[in-house]
Structure formats: C-alpha cells, structure tokens
Amino acid sequence: MGLRSPVLFSGAFLFLAVAYAAYFNVAVRTDPDAALSRFNSLMETGAPARAASHGERALAMQLEHNAPPDDIALLKTRLSAAQLSTKRYVRAATLLKDALSSTWARSLDARERIRLEDQLGRAYILSNDIEEAVSIYASFFELAGDAAAQVNIDNENTLAAYYAERVDAAGDHFIEALNHASNDFLKDGNREARLATANQMADLGGFYSMRDNGVYAAAGLLSTAYETRRNLLGGDHQDTVQLTLILGPLYERMGRIEDTEKLYLEAFHAQERVKGSNSPDLSLYIKLLAGVYEKQGRMTEAQALFEHMRNLFRDAFGAQRYAVNRERDRRADINRPVSQQFTLASTYAPNDLVSAAEFTIPTSKAPSIDEMKLRLAADQNADPREANLPARLAQLISLCRSESGERISLRSGYRSYKTQEIVHQRNGNRGTVTPPGMSEHQTGLAADVNVNGRFMRQSDRTFQCFEENAFRFGFILSYPAGNDYLPGEDSYEPWHWRYVGVQTAHLYREAGPYNRPQEFLAALPCYQERAASDIFPTAGEADICLVAPEIVTASTEEEKQPDHSDLDTARILNNALTSARSPQ
C-alpha cells in the first residue's frame, strides 16, 4: 500500500492536469470570456504573437453573439497591436480602422485618439498602403499648423505640437516603404483622388525636406508627387513646376546633381512656354540652372544663361537700371543687413510706420496694433502713395492670391526691440522667433506672411509666386534654406520676406550670390558700383564683392562716396560661411 499511494497520487494528478488542459482548451475555443481572458494575460506578459490567435477567437465569438460594435472596439485596438507584432499589417490596419469608426473612439481623450490614428498610419505604411498613410499624416500636418514650422517641438505640450511630432516620427517608416514601393503605385485609380494624394505627398515632402533626418522621406514623397502631377497635369502646369523649388534643392543636398539639372531644365522650359521667352519671371529658373552648371564645371553654359538673364533685365528694366547709386537707401537702413553679425541697437526705431490695413493689406490681427504696421519706406522723386513698401506688398499679395487661390495675410510686421525680447522669451528655442537686436522686424521692413491662417510653407503655391515675383516689388527671402544668419539649429523661414527696395531686389536676383542675402547686402556698395559700370560676376570666377579686400570706389567725384564702415564685418561674415557654401 505504501508503494502504491505515490503512483496513484501521480496518476491522479496527471489525470486532473490533462482534464484541466482539455477543459481549458475547449473553454478558450468555445467560451468568449475564457478566450478574452487568455488573450489579456498573454498581452500583459509580453507575448503578443501568442496572444493574437486567442484575440481573434474571442473577437469571432463576440461577433457571433452579436456584441455591439462599441463593446468590442477596445478589443480590436489591442488585437491590432498584437497583429502588428506578427507582421499581419493588413489585418492590423483593418481592425484599428473599424475601432476608430466606433462611437467608443469618439469618446477617447484627444491624445489617445491621435495615438491610435498614428498607429493606423504606421500599419498602412507597413502594409504598403501608401495612399491611406499619406492621407492620415497629411491631416496631422494640417492640424499641426504653425507647430510644423518649429525646429524643436519635443518639449511643447500642445495638441498641435503632438501632431507635428507624430508626422516627424513617421518619416523613417516612409523611407522604408517608399524604397520598396513600386514607382507606379499612383498610376491607377480616380484622377482626382490621385491628384489629392499627390498634393498631400507634396505637403509632407516639404515638411520632411526642412529636417536633417527627413531628406530621404522627402525625396520619395516629392518625386512621386512630381511624377504624378506631370503625368496628370502636364509639365507646364504651375503645380508641377512648383515642386521643382522643393525637390531641386533637395536633390542638390543629396548630391544628385544630374537629377537637379533635369528638374530645373524642365521648369525653365515650362515657364518659358507659359510666360514667354522674355519674361523676367524666368530669372529664378535661369539662376537655379546656371548654379547647377557651375557645380558641374560647365562654365560656358552657365555664362550663357547669365547673359540671357541680363538681356531679359535690360529689356524689362532698362539698360541704365543700376546707373544711380542708391545711397539714400543705405542711410535709411532700407537695404542694410540684419543678423547675428549685423545687430540693431535696442534704441533703434523707424519713424515712418504706417498701418498695413490702410494699403488694403489683409491682416491676421487687429489693424491698430504695432505688429500690423510697416515702414512707409517711400521712394524719392516718386508718388509716395504708390512707390512705397506697403503699396508694393499689397500688389504682390494681390498677384499671388490671384495665382494661387490661397488666403494670404500679414502675420507680423513691425516689432520693437522690447516686443521682440518678450516674444522670443515666450517662444523659447522653437526656431520661429529671432532674438532681439537680430530681427528685421525691428526695422519695420520685414513681413511674415500667413497662408490659409498659418505660416507660409514652401509647398504652398503662394511661395512659388513670391519666389518668382517678389523681387519685382522690392522683396527678398531673408532666411533661405541652409542659412546660419541667426542662432539655433536652423533659421529657414519661407514665410519671412524683407523689403530692400526695387532696385536692390533686382540687383540681388540678377547679380547677387544665390540664397546669400546677408552677404549680398553687406557688400551691396560693391555690387551697385560694378553693376552701374555693367560689370557682372562671371561664371566660374570668384565673386570679387565677396572676396576682395576693398570695395571699388565710385567712378566719379560728383557722387558721394558710399559708407564702407560695415565692410570688415561683411568680410567676417563671408569668410565664416565659406566652408559651408561656395560663391555662385
């Protein structure tokens, strides 16, 4: 008896264990509560791959019992996460989409819903459903508003910043998906839907192109958008041409010079066909293409383009367009540089501020406040009602509103040193407000431009219009991509346009170094004097105004000699940036 008891005990235990296992196996296959319990326990112990089958079984049984959609929405979200771990991405996306369409989802906290929508977007990317993913992240991008323009968004506790963070984090997933996606995934389907997706890809590509870690995501999105627009709208359509202003510089950063050349050449010929071979609007694309030729060592072709542009300017603006030295503009600070190398005194304030609204400029804030004011900066010997900064800005906005169909308004004009100090302290290191003393807003000559209620973006049609036409109204882009004129990681501001006067803006487009406005303004007397003598930079040769030890003096005794007091600082600025950029 003593020997049989352990054997009987072991046998009984084994029988009970088998019976329990059989019962448990039957229960989890037939009882929805048991299957759900098993799914939850496996998820809690970090075994989502094993949990997935139990979750699917629990869901199927609840559906068989006609469980209300809201009652199983949470299960679908958790099961979606489990299926993601098993790489069943299509199933994961289907589950999460169903859950998010329920009443339960609409009752969620805003951040939790955004998190689930982000998870859905990633499931779409992983399942190669690029169009659906693009739709989600493009809506995030639009809801991010101004936060999408900020360099540092990690520490900001707002929903807008959270949207921008989610878009930023999705970039790596887009890179992987677009590397393996077929190049023709947007060639089938409804034309309007394909164009809508291309527009969304252009917006997202513009966002990623402004970030160091987003270059490849931007290239994939923008190139697909470009090819789609070209196929559906044609190469001459302005929406197609617009993308060259984002994709071209991006390819250049990536070292894809031949692709850059192809884009700029197509854009140049497109604008030539649309606007005419004698239009000064071609100057932007001539300058872009000539710069690429210089990088390729094709100096003869680059010089031929420069000569073509000068002929256009002579025809449009006259042979003696730079004969008069605008010394008055220099003394009045209209064309002086402003940056961390060229600071303004805290006491500096213009004395000719006027309300922008008086010149029919749409304003985003109450017209009476200082921020909605600009300098008059009227030309001498001309009608002050027409030849001034606000009148010209109004004309530029009217033109671009007509061309783009977008809502354009003045976001910010004049800001005093004290106001700039307060706004900068409040803004912190987000990258959209310049430190006091370094801001062109203090001069009253700068205009931040809103498009559709938020900062102008390079993917906006308005940006293309400003890039092409602003110089004709006396405005230049102060902080182009890749500049380091201001403190911080990146001071690219596609919304910030500075008035320098019509003649100076013309000279910058025609003879100035591309995308180096501060260097140009610092050495402006040199450019003015050489241009007045019809001496322009030659392709492939060093720009004497940037490297010469001294500026050439005026050729006649009657002309007052220009003030060269800032030349040493100009050379410091130019030398500091030589390693980052080469003169064009």
Catalytic residue positions, numbered: 493
Name, in order, each residue with C-beta under 8 angstroms of 487's C-beta and a sequence gap of 6 or more: 340, 435, 438
Q: CB neighbours (10 Å) of residue 358?
A: 12
Closest CA relative to residue 378, chosen from 344, 411, 353, 410 = 353
In angstroms, the CA 388 to CA 361 distance is 13
**CA dihedral (491, 492, 497, 500) positive or negative:** positive
Q: CB neighbours (10 Å) of residue 491?
A: 23
In angstroms, the CA 325 to CA 553 distance is 11
Q: Which two tokens stand for residue 509?
A: 């487009």
In angstroms, the CA 141 to CA 154 distance is 15
Q: What is the DSSP letter of 42?
A: H
CB 72 within 8 A of CB 42: no
In angstroms, the CA 97 to CA 110 distance is 17
Name, in order, each residue with C-beta under 8 angstroms of 62's C-beta and a sequence gap of 6 or more: 32, 36, 71, 72, 75
Q: Which two tokens stand for residue 240?
A: 């197609």
**CA dihedral (318, 500, 539, 465) positive or negative:** negative
**Dihedral pair phi/psi, residue 423, rounded to 5°:** -65, -40
Closest CA relative to residue 461, chosen from 417, 415, 404, 410 = 404
β-pairing verdict for 353-355 and 475-477: unpaired
CB 265 within 8 A of CB 300: no
Closest CA relative to residue 490, chosen from 144, 152, 147 = 152
CB 214 within 8 A of CB 171: yes
Instruction: Please name the helix (run of DSSP H) or strand (run of DSSP E) that holds residue 355, with its range, or none.
Output: strand 353-355
Strand partners, 450: 409, 455
